[in-house]
């Protein structure tokens, strides 16, 4: 790996990665990562939108990755990857983690369904789901994806890749324009 580190570095440079993490998303790590992201993007007017998407994606990996490890308190929590990159006039936030095939198909359908809705329909669905779901016992994943969709400036992108042990690797990507659209 030491030999390949320059190649790894150059790849990140080409992809304009501002921020990347791969590993177990413990609560402590989530808090630390959110702190780092805020430091890096504190001048950005869209920081709250970026931050909101980042938190929901990271909490998804934490609670729903099929690959798990033990966090600092000995609780099992998800392993995955999360990146924030720049692409011309947008910030691009992505997460990736292992999921069982049936969950992968459901997530893909969720993304498709949300992409078919406009902003006001997403806002109505968001509110409806908050009213419908009792808070107890739910970690909030369904609403989290709606939140990501309604905060994004473009449709959600997702990719399903073959992964080990019959699992899929599910990647979700959301994008935010760098400067707020004055019409939105």
Partner 1 sequence: MENLIIESTENTPRIDFNPDTGNLWLIGESFPDMAHEFFKPVIQWFQAYIASTRGPIIVKFKFSYFNTSTSKYIINILSLAEGGAAAGRAIEVEWHYPANDENIKQNGLELADGFHIHFTTIAY
We find the least distance from the C-beta atom of residue 70 to partner 1, in angstroms, to be 15
Among 113, 133, 154, 159, binds partner 1 (CB under 8 A): 133
Q: Is 136 in the site for partner 1 (CB under 8 A)?
A: yes
We find the least distance from the C-beta atom of residue 135 to partner 1, in angstroms, to be 4
Q: Is 10 in the site for partner 1 (CB under 8 A)?
A: no
Task: Supply φ then ψ for residue 6, to 5 degrees.
Answer: -65, -40
**Candidate segments 87-95, 96-104, 129-137, 168-176, binder of partner 1 by CB under 8 A:** 129-137
Q: Which of 112, 88, 107 is nearest to 96 (CA)?
A: 107
Element counts in the chain: helices (H) and strands (E):
6, 6
- Cα–Cα distance measured from residue 135 to residue 175, given in angstroms and rounded to the nearest whole number: 28
Among 37, 56, 65, 173, binds partner 1 (CB under 8 A): 56
**Candidate segments 16-24, 80-88, 99-107, 123-131, binder of partner 1 by CB under 8 A:** 123-131
Among 18, 33, 40, 52, binds partner 1 (CB under 8 A): 52
- Cα–Cα distance measured from residue 22 to residue 65, given in angstroms and rounded to the nearest whole number: 12
The kind and range of the H/E element at 160 are: strand 157-162
Cβ proximity of 147 and 132 under 8 Å: no
Among 106, 127, 159, 161, binds partner 1 (CB under 8 A): 127
> 139 forms bridges with which residues in the sheet?
none
Q: Is 144 in the site for partner 1 (CB under 8 A)?
A: yes
CA dihedral 9, 10, 13, 18 (to 10 degrees): -20
- Cα–Cα distance measured from residue 88 to residue 85, given in angstroms and rounded to the nearest whole number: 10
Residue entry with tokens 């107890």: 136
**Candidate segments 4-12, 95-103, 139-147, 161-169, binder of partner 1 by CB under 8 A:** 139-147
Of 91 and 169, CB closest to partner 1? 91
Site residues for partner 1 per CB under 8 A:
27, 30-31, 34-35, 48-49, 51-52, 55-56, 59, 62, 123, 126-127, 130-131, 133, 135-140, 143-144, 146-147
């Amino acid at each position: 790996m030491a030999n390949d580190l320059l190649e790894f570095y150059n790849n990140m440079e080409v992809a304009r990665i501002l921020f990347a993490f791969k590993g177990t998303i413990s609560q402590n790590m989530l808090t630390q990562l959110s702190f780092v992201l805020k430091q890096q993007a504190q001048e950005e007017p869209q920081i709250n939108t970026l931050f909101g998407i980042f938190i929901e994606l990271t909490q998804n990996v934490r609670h729903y990755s099929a690959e798990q490890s033990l966090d600092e308190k000995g609780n099992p929590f998800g392993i995955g990857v999360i990146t924030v990159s720049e692409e011309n006039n947008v910030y691009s936030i992505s997460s990736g983690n292992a999921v069982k095939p049936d969950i992968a198909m459901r997530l893909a359908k969720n993304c498709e369904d949300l992409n078919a809705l406009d902003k006001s329909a997403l806002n109505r669905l968001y509110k409806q789901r908050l009213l419908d779901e009792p808070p107890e016992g739910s970690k909030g994943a369904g609403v989290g994806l709606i939140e990501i969709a309604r905060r994004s400036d473009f449709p959600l992108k997702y990719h399903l890749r073959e992964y080990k042990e019959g699992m899929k690797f599910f990647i979700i990507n959301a994008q935010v324009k760098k400067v707020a659209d004055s019409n939105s």
